[in-house]
Amino acid sequence: PFEVLIVGGGPAGAASAIYAARKGIRTGVAAERFGGQVLDTMDIENFISVSRTEGPKLASALEAHVKDYDVEIMNLQKAAKLIPAKAEGGYHEVVLENGASLKGRTLILSTGARWRQMGVPGEDDYRNKGVAYCPHCDGPLFKGKRVAVIGGGNSGVEAAIDLAGIVAHVTLIEYDSQLRADAVLQRKLASLPNVRIITSGLTTKVDGNGERVTALSYKDRNHGTEHDVELEGIFVQIGLVPNTEWLKDAIALSPRGEIEIDARGETSQPGIFAAGDCTTVPYKQIVIAMGAGSTAALSAFDYLIRLPAS
């Protein structure tokens, strides 16, 4: 059994592992895919102190840094169920999909999230080649170009406002007959000269020239007509889904399925902490996940040293 068992090996899990191991306590990381979302990223330009790097490069640096310490890395392990300790100071159990189980006196849950995809032809082919999911990350790559934002909820409308200040033109496409974002955001969006809003629009296809995105097709749901929009970028903003399905009955989740944490990273269960994109932390970014992972590990250590000697 581990003193600190981390579930998830993205930036949050890697930071937790290093901070925990540096306290000299027995630390393990179980991850479905060590590196997490970083593996799916191309250019990273906002990882502070590194002007520019690439996802796979940062992911291997994360793993190498963790391996500097005495941390047991269990890659390709998917957690399926959490059984919290019966009594304070007891072991929490994480049941893996393959039937095995791991135990930790404290847990740090850092299973991240995934962007909901449109599921249309061309989306996968042009991922990172014009199809993007994170305006904070990739917005500046489209400076002076034409982009679309898919989704008219708060994140879609915020993204459109953000991008309108950087790119030449933004087309926002919402499936519903009206935008769902807060009124104040909608007013702001409507005031911008380089934004076109399309409601009742269903995206049907991403087009490209083999190298980059060149256009997007959508269907007007009121008239059944098909339309093409020429552009260089598409930001998909139809939801960020936390990887927390396996935690439903064990700890408190927000209505969106995010693990509820306090400022110290503690969940509703004593001795169980969480960090990164799977939590209620505002803003999902690499540096933020790393900070949160460090916080959770220090809180886990603080919890352990206060347990009565056994």
Q: 32 or 158, CB closer to ligand FAD?
A: 32
Burial class of residue 199 in the structure, from the number of CB atoms within 10 Å of its CB (0-12 exposed, 13-18 middle, 19+ buried): middle
Q: Which of residues 105-124 bind ligand FAD (CB under 6 A)?
A: 110-113, 115
Candidates 3, 5, 10, 62: give the one binding ligand FAD (CB under 6 A).
Answer: 10
Candidates 78, 129, 169, 221: give the one binding ligand FAD (CB under 6 A).
Answer: 78
Q: 73 or 179, CB closer to ligand FAD?
A: 73
Tokens matching residue 67: 């391996």
Candidates 2, 3, 9, 231: give the one binding ligand FAD (CB under 6 A).
Answer: 9
Q: 9 or 271, CB closer to ligand FAD?
A: 9
The piece of 25-33, 154-162, 210-218, 250-258 that touches ligand FAD (CB under 6 A) is 25-33
Distance CA 74, CA 54 (A): 24
The reply to whether 233 sits near ligand FAD by the rule CB under 6 A is: no
Candidates 133, 218, 273, 301: give the one binding ligand FAD (CB under 6 A).
Answer: 133
Residues 6+ apart with CB under 8 A from 104: 1, 2, 3, 4, 5, 28, 91, 92, 94
Cβ pair 107, 94 in contact under 8 A? yes
Cβ pair 34, 9 in contact under 8 A? yes
Whole-Å CA distances, 93 to 78, 104, 202, 272: 13, 7, 44, 11
The DSSP call for residue 236 is E
Q: 179 or 296, CB closer to ligand FAD?
A: 296
The reply to whether 31 sits near ligand FAD by the rule CB under 6 A is: yes
Q: How far is the CB of 15 from ligand FAD (least distance, A)?
A: 8
Q: Is 225 helix (H, G, I), strand (E, B) or coil?
A: strand
Q: 117 or 200, CB closer to ligand FAD?
A: 117
Candidates 17, 134, 167, 236: give the one binding ligand FAD (CB under 6 A).
Answer: 134
The reply to whether 17 sits near ligand FAD by the rule CB under 6 A is: no
Helix axes 11-21, 286-305, angle to 10 degrees: 40
Which residues share a beta bridge with 297? none
Q: How far is the CB of 21 from ligand FAD (least distance, A)?
A: 17
Which residues share a beta bridge with 147? 170, 233
Where on the chain is the footprint of ligand FAD (CB under 6 A)? 7-13, 30-34, 36-38, 40-41, 44, 46, 78-79, 110-113, 115, 133-134, 137, 243, 246, 276-277, 284-287, 289
